[in-house]
Chains A and B, each alone.
Chain A
C-alpha cells in the first residue's frame, strides 16, 4: 500500500468512516504481530499488543502527521507498548517458558515443515538467542533484519540517533555471533 492510499484511508477514517481503518489493520497486522512476537516470544502477548497498537493508533490518529510514513508511526506506537509490556513483565519466568515452547512449536510447525532437523534447530537457537538480547539491541536487530527497515527508519521508530542505531545493531550482531559460538 503506497503512502498516498494510506493518506486517503486516514482521511476517510478521520471523516467518520471507521470501517476504512480495517484496511490499515489488515495491511499491517502481520508486521506488527511479528514484531511483538519476536520481542515477547509469546503469541498471546503478541496478539494483545498488536490489538492494543491498532486501537492506540486509532485513538491518536488525529496526531498523525501526513508528511510522515504511517508504518513508522505505527511501529513507534507498537514499540512503546512492547517496551512498557516488557518492563512490567521482566520477572515473569513462566512467560519465558511459554515463549520457549511457542518458539519451538512455531519453528517446527511453520515454513516448509519438511523436517530439516539441523537447520530447524539452528533457527530455534537463533530465535532464542535473539530473545535473550537486551531489549534495546533486540528491537534494533528485529526492526532492521526481520522487519527489513532501513537504518533511518529504525532510528525514526526507536527515537534514537542514526549512529546509536548502527552501534546497537553492531553490538547485537556481535552478541549473537558470540552466543551462537557458545551454543555450537
Chain B
C-alpha cells in the first residue's frame, strides 16, 4: 500500500458532508409512529412484513437479504406442503392398502415433512439469522436424503413409468435444494446477519 500513500492521504482529506438539519427529529418522528403494540408484534411474527419489500428482488439478480432467502424457502416449503396434502388426499385409499410397500405409503408424509422443514428453516433465518450456516448444512443433508429416498424408491418400484416419474420428481427436488443452498450461500456472502 506504500505506493498509494498519496492517494490514501487525499481520500482521507476529502471533506466530510454535513447531514441535513433535523435528521434526528425526522428519524425519531418516524420511530414514534411505528406501532409496537402486542397485536402488531404477533401479526409481524406470523406474517413478517419485512418479506414484502425485497421479495420482488428475489427473482432478479443476487440474493442479498435474509428476507429474500426466507421468502424462497417459504415458497418451496409451501409447494411441498400442498403437493403432500394433495397426494395424501388423492391417494388416501391406496395408502391404507397394507400390501403396498410401507416406504411408498409414507411418501406423502415425507413430502409434508419436507414442507414443514423448509418453512421452519425460513422462520429460523428470518428470526435467528445467526443460524443461517446451520440451515445451510441442514439443507445439504436434506438434498442427500432426497437422493437416498430416490435410491430406495427405485429398488421398490418395478413399473417403468413410475420410475420415470420418481426420476423427474427427484430431479425437481434436487434443483430446488441446489437453488435454496445457492441463495443461502449468496446471502452469507453478500448479505449480512442483520
Contact = CB atoms under 8 A, between A and B. Distances in A.
Interface in A29-52: 29-30, 33-34, 37-38, 43, 46-47, 50-51
Contacts of B8: 145, 173
A126 B14 contact: yes
A80 interface: yes
How would you classify the secondary structure of chain A's contact residues: helix, strand, loop or mixed? Answer: helix
B34 A106 contact: no
A25 B194 contact: no
Given A19-B28, A126-B10, A76 B193 contact: yes
Interface string B171-194: 000000000000000001111111
Contacts of B28: 18-19, 21-22, 25
User: Chain B interface: which size bin?
Assistant: 35 or more
A26 interface: yes
B17 A37 contact: yes
A13 B24 CA distance: 16
B20 interface: yes
Interface of B: 1, 4, 7-8, 10-20, 23-24, 26-28, 30-32, 34, 50, 54, 57, 61, 64-65, 129-130, 188-194
28 contacts: A22-B27, A22-B28, A29-B19, A29-B27, A33-B19, A34-B16, A38-B17, A50-B19, A55-B27, A58-B31, A60-B194, A73-B194, A80-B191, A80-B192, A80-B194, A83-B190, A84-B64, A84-B65, A106-B15, A106-B17, A126-B10, A130-B11, A146-B14, A146-B16, A159-B191, A160-B189, A173-B4, A176-B11
